[in-house]
Structure 1
Amino acid sequence: MKKDQAVHYQLRIAGKHYESLQQHLFPGDGKEAVAVALCGRYERDGISVLLTHKIELIPHDECERDALFVNWKTERIIPFLEEAEKHNLAILKIHSHPTGYPQFSKTDDQSDSELFTSVFGWCDYDGVHASAVMVPDGSIFGRVFTHDLRTFPIEKISVAGNVIKIFENKKAVEDDFSLRTRQAFGDETYNKLRQMKIGIIGCSGTGSPTIEQLVRLGVGTIVIVDPDTVEKKNLNRILNTTMEDAENSRFKTDVLYDSIGKIGLGTVVERYNVNLYDSREALETLIGCDVICGCVDSVDGRHLMSQLSNFYLVPYFDLGVRLDADGAGGIKAINASIHYIQPGCSTLFSRGLYNSQRLADEALRRQSPEDFAALEKQGYVHNANVDRPAVISINMQISSMAVNELLNRLHPFKDEDPENYARIMMDYTGGCIINQAEDEFEQDSAAAKWVGRGDCRPFLRMMELR
């Protein structure tokens, strides 16, 4: 970032970190408590985001605690300071205000000044560090400290957990077209949607109806990514496409961009006619999103989104539909799934959607089609990207279920807790829907090591993105 550029500060918290913090900061005795987080960073175009990477809960019995203050010894966080200095990471102090006091107190000002004077003494990097406060309802406010101990408010704090929380002071919006949405899901949910930025990867089968719904729900900004052009075989499932679009081989993103503009509901559209592996700019834009929806068939595309979600704490919905033909002009089976991936927990890999061999095969297919074709002919690789039947009615059904799942995680309305919907499986031919909870899946220990790590080299620790 340029030295004199105005900076907007944000904080993102992994859901599992948020739950641990909330339990520790409010043990039920009405006294303040404190914790420290080691944070990754994301800095681009006037935005500076801190991302919780590791947390240290300062034991209550090591503190002097009261309803209005907490005093604690900082020796316990020396390993965090050493790691922050080595890798240009940030320190976040977060404590509770059990009285609900909605701003920093004079006591906070003094203790923060002393702490961050020491922090900057440890860390040569002049990036900001931060202090935050959680109040009894779970909401958080915060501020950053610069190397000269100036403070600036954290404008947006989000939590990527079972429930997607966004703490942001913005004026409420009321639109005539949103009346039914507000009646169904509440003004608060609608205002969140209006302020959100959502990425959709893949603009065809499930992507097209997902985009349409998000626009009609009033989402403020959407980022659409797809490298392909409209073909005649797509016209049975991409909304707002025409035969003329197919004959002119128009990019799918361009067609949808034009149709959204004609709707006129105010949604801002950022479009990328690219494969994500070929565009750092598109990946950087997706990092800035509040939520990402993956509507792709490829294993390597899913893996890339899982990595980005984990490193930068962006909640990720993965949509998949499979229609298997019976070889006699009919359908043998129709299955679909929605996976909700929250950073630092189970992943598509640990859930068994793909394995290392499948990932390597698809990487070879993308990077060297000639070598892939030769190996495929010899039976050494598996081609997962074969054309399968796809129809709009099934795609729209699973897309609608995914969008409703997003709404449920913004403002829970189902009978069961959102944590019970980590995966929704639909067997359409069998006539059943099966829900699975996050704790039913194997946790991805490898991914957990990098949760919230943010900027590092190589980017996302993927050598091909260097």
Structure 2
Amino acid sequence: MNPSTNLTITYADHRKLRDHLFPGDGLEAAAILLCARTPGPRVRLLVKQVLLVPHSACKERRSDYLVWPGSAIEEAFDLAEADGLSLVLTHSHPGGLFGFSRHDDRSDLLTVPSLFQALGGLHGTAIMTPDGAMLARLYRQDMSPIPIESVMVAGDDLTWHWADRKFSPRPTAFTSEATQELGRLSACVIGVSGTGSLVAEQLARLGFGQVILIDFDKIEPRNLNRIVNSTLADAKAQRSKVVAFAEAVTSYRGEGVAVPVNASISTREAVLCASQTDVMFSCVDTLDARQIADLLAASFLIPLFDVGVSIPTRKAQRGAAIADVCGRIDYVHPGGPTLQDRGVYDPASLRAEYLRRTAPDAHREEMQAGYLRGVTEEAPAVIALNMRAASACVMEFIARAHPFRHESNAAYARTQFSLAANEEDFFPVESFPTTTIPQFARGDLEPLLGLPALRAPRSEAIA
């Protein structure tokens, strides 16, 4: 069963918070997390800003006791009001107690009602222990608590702090305990075709509690040589890729694990489904779909793994020859360099793709090129290349969720391989610029992702 409640914070904000809460004097300290939210049904709080409460502003600081300054909370009110953000009042437990004390309970009863009076919405409190572990809870208007089941810290590594402490210390990669932890998480695969079906197959068999599959296309006979789990009967019936794949997953994982979304990622339906997940895999072949994945990752603080393959050709005496056989895997952590920052797409390439798509002759030419650039091939035999890239993509996730590398994961923001040259190159996160984007931790603010086309229908907005 996937956790229904979660708080996600970037590694940069988590480090900033931890440094402030544990200044080295052994006394409690305070901060306020300003959080956006994902659309329902899942409750996910997204830390948009960390407001540090100056140590000198606290009326009293002890090793097990803290008195908050009212001015800090009033400042948070002003910052949160415009976008309807939730406030999570956070303090440290220098002694290491991973739990809320009786004093914490009494303090919440006095302080949290003022948050409802000023802002409405959902608000709560959190504590942090010296090792960086966090425990959080929300409150309903009647002050009954809503436990936050997990706190995810998303950076070069991916860490989950579980309220029940089930996986502390963190599980070792490739163990049954790691599989059990994945059973509490959800993944989204955008594009369930040649590479995407192989990624989704691995995620389902690794044990993810839920795998959301997003693709609008149908299975055709020419797909059968590269879409895993597809059958001749599926192609003859022109079945939806995601529905057919979900049925295959159900046959070995049971009901409810695979969730098919038969829609384009550019639709509101697909964006809403993707927003519910813990980690996202982009296995698409268009730039506009990658842009949507990029915006999803930023808006909902979802770690993103993007994979692509290509087989460039060159002119030869007898037609065309293979110039290279290559692939790329990019890992984008919330707050880090986006796919656009890395040059995967830009406004010019997006416009060019749009023009090709809307010009029938050019579009036909592009589709004929397919995997093999410059060669017309209706059913390219690329499953071996897709498998190589899909495996590298999923291994990149494992390396970050349950680290096993001999050096920092920061050195592997991008992996590129050339099978023709037998080379593999790695690029550290510092290789790319990081720009500030307005969609960061945008959450459920309308229109979704900041795109007018994804605005809620009038009937939904009124409801």
After TM superposition, is the score higher than 0.5?
A: yes
Tell me the CA shift for residue 383 of structure 1.
Answer: 6.3
Instruction: Select 1:30's aligned residue among 26, 51, 57.
Output: 26
Q: Distance in 2 between matches of 1:92 and 1:262?
A: 42
AA of the residue aligned to 2:286 = S
The verdict on how the C-alpha distance between 1:78 and 1:453 changes in structure 2, with shifts beyond 3 A counting, is farther
Q: Distance in 2 between matches of 1:9 and 1:208?
A: 28
Change in Cα spacing, 1:218 to 1:171, as seen in structure 2 (3 Å) is farther
Q: Name the aligned partner's letter for residue 134 of structure 2.
A: I
Of 198, 207, 216, the match for 1:218? 207
SS of alignment partner, residue 98 of structure 1: coil
Equivalent residues, number:
437
Secondary structure in 2 aligned to 1:282? helix
1:254-291 per-residue CA deviation (whole Å, 9 max, x = no partner) reads 2212222223467711002211223x222212111111
1:56–1:77 contact (8 Å) kept in structure 2: no
Partners in 1 of 2:369 and 2:20 — Cα distance?
A: 50
1:219-249 CA-to-partner distances (Å, cap 9, x unmatched) read 2211111111222332221112233432332
Q: Is this contact kept in 1: 2:263–2:269, CA < 8 A? A: no
In the alignment, structure 1 residue 132 sits paired with structure 2 residue 126: yes
Q: Is structure 2 residue 417 aligned with structure 1 residue 421?
A: no
Q: CA 1:255/1:152 → structure 2, altered by over 3 Å: closer, same or farther?
A: closer
Q: Report the Cα offset of residue 187 of structure 1.
A: 3.9
What is the identity, as a one-letter code, of the residue corresponding to 2:309? V
CA contact (8 A) 1:200 1:223 kept: yes
Q: Assess if the C-alpha contact under 8 Å between 1:220 and 1:266 holds in 2.
A: no
State the alpha-carbon separation in 2 of the partners of residues 332 and 95 from structure 1: 58
- Deviation string 1:173-207 (CA, Å, 9 cap, x unpaired) is 9xxxxxxxx98623432111112111111111211
User: Which position in structure 1 is the counterpart of 2:112?
Assistant: 116
Mapping of 1:400-415 within 5 angstroms?
A: 400-415=391-406
- Quote how far apart the aligned CAs of 1:302 are: 0.7
What does residue 159 of structure 2 align with? 165
Other-structure match for 1:62: 57
Match of 1:18 in 2: 14
- CA spacing shift, 1:270–1:400, aligned 2, 3 Å: same
Q: CA deviation at 1:141?
A: 0.9
Cα 1:384/1:95, change in 2 over 3 Å: farther
Of 58-67 and 188-197, the range deviating more from structure 2: 58-67
Structure 1 residues 152, 272: closer, same or farther in 2, change over 3 A?
A: closer
Match of 1:153 among 121, 132, 147: 147
8 Å CA contact 1:361–1:383 kept in 2: the answer is no
1:80 counterpart letter in structure 2:
A
Structure 1 residue ranges without an equivalent (≥5): 1-6, 174-181
Moved more, 194-203 or 329-338: 329-338
**Residues 1:387 and 2:373 are matched in the alignment:** no
Counterpart of 2:330, as a letter, is H
Contact 1:216/1:265 (CA < 8 Å) preserved in 2? no
Assess if the C-alpha contact under 8 Å between 2:300 and 2:441 holds in 1.
yes
RMSD: 2.7
Aligned with 1:49 (options 39, 44, 48): 44
Classify 1:243/1:9 alpha carbon distance in 2 versus 1 (closer, same or farther; 3 Å). closer
User: Structure 1 pair 432/464, CA: closer, same or farther in 2 (3 Å)?
Assistant: same
> Which runs of structure 1 show a deviation greater than 6 angstroms over 4 or more consecutive aligned residues?
170-173, 382-385
Q: 1:275, 1:139 → 2: CA distance?
A: 38
1:420 touches 1:438 (CA, 8 Å); kept in 2? yes
